Structure 1
Amino acid sequence: MEKVTCECGHQNPYGTELCERCGKPLKEQQQLLNMRYEGVARRSQTYNRSVVDKVWNFFSSVKVGIWIIFLILVASIFGTIFPQEMFIPPNVDPAQYYGEEYGIAGEIFYTLGFHNLYGSWWYIALLAALTTSLIIASIDRVVPLYRALKNQRVTRHKSFLSRQRIFGESDVASQDATYEAVKEGLKKKKYNISEENGNLVAEKNRFARWGPYVNHVGLVLFLTGAMLRIFPGMYVDENVWVRDGDTVPLPGTDSQYYLESEGFTMETYDEDDEMYAEALERSGGPITETYRTEAVLYERVDGNVVGVDSEQQKVKSHDIEVNDPLTYDSYSIYQVDYKLNELYEMDFELESEETGEVYGDFTVNLFDPEDSYEIDDEREVTIHSYFPDFYFDDDNEPSTRSSIPDNPAFIFAFDGPEVEGTEHRFVGIQQNHPVTEDPVYNVSFAGIDTNHVTALTVRKDLTLPFLMAGGAIFMIGLIQGSYWTHRRIWLQKRGDDGFYVAGHTNKNWESLKRDVNAAIDGTDIESPEDQIVKKEESKKQSASADDRADTGEADKGGR
């Protein structure tokens, strides 16, 4: 792009609105100058040829950034219609849960991925687009703005000064004395003074101009932390159920860590304690004081392969209680739920249907049942079908709601010398029905063994430093740009008998006016005018004159 040469001889990059040396507008303008970016040439307004230029210009647009934010907000709103997957019961299938609980709307919610909104690829893509927009838009503006402010000249063209909102010119008796008086007045107001050829520019709080860009840095860090949560090992928040005596791999650790529950206990407040007597009486029953899981953490020894009987070494023991997690290697394991006396094993006896003679017994592990059980040398019981949580489906066929044995039921098959072939029998809780006509064998319930189950949440969050740093930096930028204003006051000689006075700030103009009036107090310089206020007053006076003229014409017509 060809550079634009100002009448002062300085060559400005294409797209520059104000000369970088003298400040003279390079385009004819009747209104006040737009000082937002000091009139510098921004890349997005200069180049639009290559693919890189078009991508840069797209993401540098404020409108594009606002639309991306709007889409993120709309998606977040839809994500709150129903609970996220992390808030539904941990032992249910999400694909079934949303349909059963919320009907067709729930199925659509699950199908579109709103059940895991903040981890979905398209939501992360929106966050990435917003992050890209913030980075490009900031670079597109902050680099030329920094260059313009750092290299700004003291002496400015008259058209630059006269098109500032605060502007005035005055005759003075002595330029030197007036100059020194105004200079001292500005120093008392804590302005930084730069001088050139008998002119000066007083500046204060330039750092406030960088507040929005500090905000952007904080937002970029915060969004980066949010996006890092999809990477393995950066963020874990998953539940695991552990039965007493069992050892299970911890979710989110790639089978590196295993947890054993040596026992779950629940303690209640002592009914004989006078301190809690009134509360216990109001509750009508015992009140839980403590949930506790006696946990042992193991780590897979290096060199073992996942899925093989790997060797594990104990790394830590801890009694996990509410608000007292087991912590190790950035992981924290919290107590969140429990289930007392869950069905664990069921004992059965095989007997004669006719005489009641018992041939033998067998025990079924409800979580890992065997295919068959040998009663004696001649008789065998086989599990034909197993329904851990039995119910009849819409087709009136036996089915199970989940793999948890809340209502176990079996279809047993029997082989023995008393029968030809194989006979079957349906056995459940308080249910015992022969499937084969003229049954020979019967299975009777002989006993049950229960177990406590503890629910733990495994958490790991390596993105938290990004989120905290981003939030802190964002607040710094917000304070920086909200409580301070960038102010500049120009005092420039007009020939040998007067001065031009101009002022600019990005907000709080009344405060700038007070600073200017305080600096020129006691000198021959008249208070400069606020050109916007002057223009509005002029419009009001013109409108008032028109009203009077219309009223006069009406009176003449009436007479």
Structure 2
Amino acid sequence: MIENVKCACGHANPPGPSLCESCGAPREDVSSQPADMRYEGAARRSQASSRTIADRIWSFFSSVRNAVIMIVLTLIASAIGTIFPQEQYIPVPKPADVFYEEAYGTLGLIYYRLGLHHLYSSWWFIALLLGIGISLIVCSLDRVVPLYRALKAQRVKRDHTFLAAQKVSTEVDIGDRDPQEVLNALTRGLGKRRYGVREEDNALLGEKGRFSRWGPYINHIGLILFLVGCLMRLIPGFYLDQFVWVREGQTEPVPETKYYVKNERFDKVYYQDNEFPEKLDIKGKVVKEYKTTAVLYENENAGVTGAAPKLKEVKKAEIRVNHPLEHDGLLLYQSGEQENDLEALNMKLLDTATKAPLGTVRLDLYKPQSEIRVSNNVKVQVLQYFPDFALDEHKQPITKTPSPNNPAFVINTVSPKTPNGEKQWIFLGSTLTADNKPPVVTYEFAKPDLVDVTGLMVRVDKSLPIIFFGACVCMVGLVMGFYWQHRRIWLEVVEGRLLIAAHTNKNWFGVKSEIVKILHTAEITVSAAQLEKGDRKL
């Protein structure tokens, strides 16, 4: 248990403050030093007790040092999260483990293995944000309560040792002048400098700019609101940051929403030579604009389990870079493109022996049919499909990604000469029978179907108003704290002497200059140097 410190007046003060709560006199062990005026004798809870676990937790979060450590750790983590793009910003439709290793090598794989690809939603990063928020609240409460008590209970007439302990203090001989006349003149001088004046006996207290003392705590409120807005993004429906690839002419669901989007047309516009202001030595074409003509649909059966989508058009717009399609808080940004992407393989079926055509078949690389009827007596069955074909460590076929980067099919061709079917592997540009025998039916590749694919970034952020409001509150607190000062001037006439003391939370030169001008109003001449180097033995 922390013991109280007894003042000369008999009052037992809690540890921490350098001034007595009762008389305002400095404690004996610090009386030779300038007074600590932050709370003027009011004790902070973190300094007054540390007996229980709750007290220790309170002391931990009220520590500015601990708050700074958490902020630094958060900044370092945030910086690490920007080394490589987060998973939701991967520019190509590939699984995260494949993308990071292919794009960034071993460092990318380590980045993925450590879970840094979704850093900002990780539990430990969220815990750091919560810790900073709790620290802001506890630090503010631990300091604002004693500050409020100290400012509310300010006394006009102060102990002389309190006045002498101020950084700005001195005394002036006024001779046989009428004390009330001097005080009246000083009151007028304080009023001209926009000080609020209180009088008690032969003492004056001039004060202005008290509201600036609340600036840091208003700043804390703004930061807390900012953090609340950031954490609200973890609530389902408040924040969405996804990516969707949509082929030209196709309609795809917008991830985690009740909407669908159709890519009616994707255009890439290039600059013409006559559009440049001067002749530039540029090789190749320069893109002027990426544009997607999109239609947004709402699924009216979104809440019905197992029901087929029932789409209703809600908006049609051209999506360009920095000009998204916006509807009811949903934003679709132009964020990627892939030109001439494979959409389907076109092949001719030939009788190997006679070279007679049996028909044509189209294998869709995105949604392949399980069975394709070529003619009355010829059909092709799709047994397996590998969009991005590869072999695993056991030499078994796998697909590396869901995108048709290296498509391969296992098909079964049923024809008059193969009534039981003939299994073949169809690769991009080649075929192979399952038993390595010459095929009965030959596949001849024709020109594939190509399609442009647009990449749309999907954004929903309902927390932005709170984040912006918190930023504005934070700015108000900063302005209050930086551009105004809390100034207090104590003046007391005692037996032909004028005792002068002052305190400000910043700009000591300014308060000394004001005191010189105020005293000049009462025809008292004192220099700024005398105020700081005056006789403190009052």
Confirm or deny a common fold (TM above 0.5).
Answer: yes
Q: Find the aligned partners of 1:48 and 1:277 in 2 and give their Cα distance.
A: 73
Structure 2 distance, partners of 1:457, 1:246, is 17
Shift of 1:338: 2.4
Aligned 8 A contact 1:178 1:524 in 2: no
Aligned pairs for 1:300-315 (under 5 A) are 300-301=299-300, 304-315=303-314
1:524, 1:245 → 2: CA distance? 89
Give the counterpart letter for 1:462 in structure 2: K
For the residues of structure 2 that align with 1:337 and 1:203, how far apart are their CA atoms?
Answer: 61
Match in the other structure for 1:372? 371
CA spacing shift, 1:137–1:7, aligned 2, 3 Å: same
Instruction: Give 1:465's aligned residue.
Output: 465
Q: Equivalent of 1:246, from 250, 266, 289?
A: 250
Specify the alignment match of 1:190 in structure 2: 194
SS in 2 for 1:338: strand
Q: 1:90 touches 1:239 (CA, 8 Å); kept in 2?
A: no
Shift of 1:344: 1.8
Separation (CA, whole Å) in 2 of partners of 1:5 and 1:505: 28
Residue 298 of structure 1 corresponds to 297
SS at match of 1:129: helix
2:240 corresponds in structure 1 to 236
What is residue 519 of structure 1 aligned with on the other side? 518
The Cα shift of 1:207 comes to 1.7
Maintained 8 Å contact 2:94/2:402: no
Contact 2:290 2:321 (C-alpha < 8 Å) held by counterparts? yes
- Tell me if 1:225 matches 2:216: no
Q: Aligned ranges for residues 439-458 of structure 1 at < 5 Å?
A: 439-458=439-458
Pick the aligned partner of 2:210 from 195, 206, 213.
Answer: 206
* Number of corresponding residues: 529
Counterpart of 1:461 in structure 2: which amino acid?
A: D
1:341 lines up with 2:340 in the alignment: yes
Gaps of 5+ in 1: 536-559
Structure 2 unmatched ranges of 5 or more = none
One-letter amino acid matched to 1:225: G
CA contact (8 A) 2:89 2:243 kept: no
Residue 149 of structure 2 aligns with an amino acid whose one-letter code is R
| Letter paired with 1:305 | V
Distance, in Å, in 2 between the alignment partners of 1:67 and 1:269 is: 51
* Alignment check: 8 A CA contact 1:259 1:298 kept: yes
C-alpha contact 2:268 2:291 (8 A) present in aligned 1:
yes
Asked if the contact 1:502/1:528 (under 8 Å) is kept, the reply is no
Paired position in structure 2 for 1:25: 26
Is the 2:301–2:308 Cα contact (8 Å) retained in structure 1?
no
Query: Residue 129 of structure 2 is aligned with which of 108, 127, 130?
Result: 127
Cα separation, 1, equivalents of 2:281 and 2:399: 39
Q: Give deviations 1:492-517, integer Å, cap 9, x for gaps.
A: 232x3222111111222122221222
Give the drift of 1:353.
2.2
Supply the distance in 2 between the matched residues of 1:295 and 1:423 (Cα, whole angstroms).
Answer: 43
Contact 2:26/2:165 (8 A) holds in 1? no
Contact 1:349–1:446 (CA under 8 A) maintained in structure 2: yes
Residue among 48, 51, 63 paired with 1:49: 51
CA deviation vs aligned residue, 1:31-55 (integer Å, no higher than 9, x gap):
2211122221111122333433232
State the 1:477 CA deviation: 1.8
Paired residue for 1:104? 106
Cα separation, 2, equivalents of 1:424 and 1:303 = 41
| Stretch deviating more after TM superposition (127-136 or 4-13) | 4-13
Q: CA deviation at 1:419?
A: 4.8
Partners of 2:242 and 2:458 within 8 A in 1: yes
Amino acid at match of 1:300: N
Contact 1:347 1:445 survives alignment (8 Å): yes
Q: Which residue of 1 aligns with 2:141?
A: 139
User: Offset of 1:202 from its aligned partner?
Assistant: 1.0
Alignment partners' CA distance in 1, 2:391 and 2:441: 25
CA distance in 2 between counterparts of 1:70 and 1:284 reads 46
Partner of 2:358: 359
Aligned CA distance change for structure 1 residues 232 and 186 (closer, same or farther; 3 Å): same
* Counterpart residue identity of residue 454, structure 2: T
How far off its partner does 1:473 sit?
2.1
Deviation at 1:366, TM superposition (A): 1.1
User: Equivalent residue of 1:181, what SS?
Assistant: helix
**Aligned residue in 1 for 2:479:** 479
Letter in 2 for 1:229: R
| Matched residue type, 2:236 | P
User: Whole-Å Cα distance in 1 between the matches of residues 394 and 534 of structure 2?
Assistant: 84
SS at match of 2:448: strand
The answer to whether the 8 Å contact 1:166/1:530 transfers is: no
Equivalents in 1 of 2:528, 2:163: separation in Å? 12
Contact 1:262/1:293, CA 8 A, preserved across alignment: yes
